Structure 1
Amino acid sequence: MFTLENPLVMLYVRLIGWTLLGYVLGKLLPRVYTTYLGKALLFVGVPIGIVSFLRQADLSGWIVIAPTTAWVAIFVGAGLAWIWIDLGVSDERFRSLSRGITSRENTVEVTSGTNATIQQESAWSGPTQGSFLLAMTLGNTAFMGYPVSLALVGPQYFAWSLFYDLIGSTIAAYSVGIALASRFGSTANNQPRPNPFVSMAKTPALWSLPIGVGMRFVPLPTVITSGMNAIAWTTVTLSLVMIGMQLSQLQTLKNIKKALTCLSIKMLLTPLVVGTGLMFFGVTGEPRLAMVLQMAMPPAFSTLVIAQAYNLDRDLTVTTLAFGVVLLLFTIPIWLWLFS
């Protein structure tokens, strides 16, 4: 059962091995190398990989369900997260009221400074709420979701994961993600906020989707297709290396309780609820497994970029990123057992 021929064992060997290699390289090399690798993958590796895998993928069936499922999962997760935040804020208000009543028994005067102190001690400040919701909605469905999907579901059903990521998660990052960051954070030094439409237009992966679909009907020489396929699989490997390099740059791990709560909703509860619901729409087998795996991905590293740009709770964001990658190793067997 636990042999190298087992797809799950091979996946774990690759996930752990290449990520650890990236972690070591991230400690040894200057941080700029991570930026160079990320840009190379974003502008070269990922677009070529999308075109290559789309030529092998099966686009039959109701594949439009994939992006629809992505948006449903995003709003279900955000809704569950908002309920948890509201419970936490309500609990804080109740405790503040109790402290206020006790304080009035001892003193008549309640100054504004006391109120400010109580507000500053809030565990659910605006930036914390923003980071909590942001980590809940934006999953690492590309650099980590693609390797997991390809290893466990295969290139034939890769289009389901691809449509989930590009038309779901990617667009959500520049719409819902930016909206949440704007609502709960603020840009530093009055810097102009990024235009979400311009950001989407500069994302090569989105342009690669229609190009890849169109090139399915264009015959190419064997040398070119083999080269594209080699670049595609190399990109999958380098994506894991880059994740390890990014993890090596994370410094503080705080708010562990909130991070674990966030990850439990994002990586356990939401995939279970939405994945079970897909059964009632006739979506089963490998397509459903591909989407459940995407739903169960840890938060994307773009959440840290957004959190820094909008002054959200960086410590909470960093903690969810680090623990999310570790938690993924324990959740993948659960989804294979339930939905394979």
Structure 2
Amino acid sequence: MRNSLIQAYLPLVIWVGLGAGLGRFLPAALPRLLGRGLYWIGIPLEIFTLARQTHFAEDTGLAPLYTVVSLGLGLGLGLVGLAVVRSLAATIPAEAVAIEIGVAPGSELLPSQPVELALWPDTATMTWVDKPRQGSFVLASMLGNTGFVGLAIVPTLVSGPYLGWAVFYSVTQNVVGTYGLGVFIASWFGRGAQTKSRWQQLRDVVTVPSLWAFALGSVSQVWAWPPLLDEALHQSVWLVIPVALVLMGLRLSQLQGWSSLQPALVPAMLKVLVLPVMVGAVTLGAGLPKDGVLVLVLMSGMPSAFAGLILAEEYDLDRELAAASIALSTGGLLLTIPLWLLVFG
């Protein structure tokens, strides 16, 4: 298992390290350009290729259902976790602050208005009141990296017919979760403080290029293409992955130490620890085969999705929180995978 993890994470370390190392020397606008390029071209190309070249067996029919269940659980956890964090960052009267630190309150020393005390110090100018930060929190808690990391790791840990479940989980999350529900959430919380009508939100979802890419890729299975073209599509995926990892490294290079990571502790923990436990409990209660349960637990416990960072670039969410959640949850994955193999394997 250790060798499999090393093999799976070697590209992660190389490309993210490259992005982090070059981040200080590249133009500040480059991360946003890369993010938009992945959103409009790179990710749709990957999903088109996956939809065209994957032939789903009948025993994968339940995978989309449980993927949607996992997304619903992740959304619920994200909203509850956000409510808890916001309550912990509630304002406290200045007089209470003075008593706590042992200073006698007085108008000449302390302001009369409340002072905000947050359990996690806010980075830059972003606070928990800001909708862009809230949106990144929810997305980091709900969406996992089932494509770049999940499909690289799970096949080394699971064998047999349930590998098809992993592929279908990844495709379903990309289509329904990331570029369906995820776009709706990003549209709701993002792009400044604009008030969006339901029509604008629906338009954002319907015009997502990845949804159309999945539909076209599925339909194109009945068309015979030259082998060279299919091979070119397959190889293009291996270009998209490094670009996404470099983008992650570029954003990580902008993190301001531990203070940047603290706001991401809760969504990272919800994603790689709490959500897989809930998915495991639901699937075991439903009587699914043990191998199927393990696949669903592993896929639901993948680290926060790179797509969350791409959506943050596209919809002006909190990019720093998105990048920090990816970093913490990716590190946590190395600790949780042996746990899931022990409990559900």
Is structure 2 residue 84 aligned with structure 1 residue 84? yes
1:13-36 Cα distance to aligned partner (Å, 9 max, x none): 121122112222333332344344
State the Cα distance separating 1:160 from its structure 2 match: 1.5
State the Cα distance separating 1:146 from its structure 2 match: 0.8
Q: Equivalents in 2 of 1:278, 1:86: separation in Å?
A: 31
Alignment match, 1:22: 19
Alignment match of 1:173 (pick from 153, 167, 182) = 182
Seen in structure 2, the aligned counterparts of structure 1 residues 338 and 166 have a Cα distance that, compared at 3 Å, is farther
Alignment match, 2:45: 48
SS at match of 2:23: helix
Q: Equivalents in 1 of 2:292, 2:184: separation in Å?
A: 29
Q: Contact 1:51 / 1:215 at 8 angstroms: preserved in 2?
A: no
Alignment match of 1:230 (pick from 232, 235, 257) = 235
Q: Equivalents in 2 of 1:282, 1:169: separation in Å?
A: 28
Identity %: 19
Taking structure 1 as the reference length, the TM-score comes to 0.74
Q: Which residues in structure 2 correspond to 1:190-209 (within 5 Å)?
A: 195-209=200-214
Q: Which residues in structure 2 correspond to 1:99-114 (within 5 Å)?
A: none
Q: Equivalents in 2 of 1:58, 1:136: separation in Å?
A: 33
State the Cα distance separating 1:193 from its structure 2 match: 5.6
Alignment match of 1:250 (pick from 248, 251, 255) = 255
Alignment match, 1:240: 245
Alignment match of 1:9 (pick from 6, 11, 17) = 6
Q: Contact 1:259 / 1:319 at 8 angstroms: preserved in 2?
A: yes
Q: Contact 1:67 / 1:164 at 8 angstroms: preserved in 2?
A: yes
Q: Equivalents in 2 of 1:136, 1:291: separation in Å?
A: 21
Seen in structure 2, the aligned counterparts of structure 1 residues 167 and 39 have a Cα distance that, compared at 3 Å, is same
Seen in structure 2, the aligned counterparts of structure 1 residues 78 and 144 have a Cα distance that, compared at 3 Å, is closer
Q: Equivalents in 1 of 2:221, 2:342: separation in Å?
A: 34
Q: Equivalents in 1 of 2:152, 2:296: separation in Å?
A: 10
Q: Which residues in structure 2 correspond to 1:147-296 (within 5 Å)?
A: 147-154=148-155, 156=164, 157-180=166-189, 187=193, 195-251=200-256, 253-254=258-259, 256-284=261-289, 285=291, 289-290=295-296, 292-296=298-302
Q: Equivalents in 1 of 2:144, 2:270: separation in Å?
A: 21
Alignment match, 2:158: none
State the Cα distance separating 1:304 from its structure 2 match: 4.6
Q: Equivalents in 1 of 2:32, 2:167: separation in Å?
A: 27
Can you give the 5+ residue segments of structure 2 that lack an aligned partner in the other structure? 156-162
Number of residues paired by the alignment? 320
The residue identity in structure 2 corresponding to 1:146 is G
Q: Equivalents in 1 of 2:281, 2:254: separation in Å?
A: 37
State the Cα distance separating 1:315 from its structure 2 match: 6.5
The residue identity in structure 1 corresponding to 2:139 is L
Q: Equivalents in 2 of 1:247, 1:100: separation in Å?
A: 37
The residue identity in structure 1 corresponding to 2:267 is C
Q: Contact 2:8 / 2:149 at 8 angstroms: preserved in 1?
A: yes
Q: Contact 2:18 / 2:246 at 8 angstroms: preserved in 1?
A: yes
The residue identity in structure 1 corresponding to 2:172 is F
Seen in structure 2, the aligned counterparts of structure 1 residues 134 and 40 have a Cα distance that, compared at 3 Å, is closer
Q: Which has the higher helix share?
A: 1
State the Cα distance separating 1:148 from its structure 2 match: 1.3
Q: Equivalents in 1 of 2:261, 2:20: separation in Å?
A: 21
State the Cα distance separating 1:41 from its structure 2 match: 3.0
Alignment match, 2:160: none
Q: Equivalents in 1 of 2:34, 2:277: separation in Å?
A: 34
Alignment match, 1:62: 62
The residue identity in structure 1 corresponding to 2:47 is I
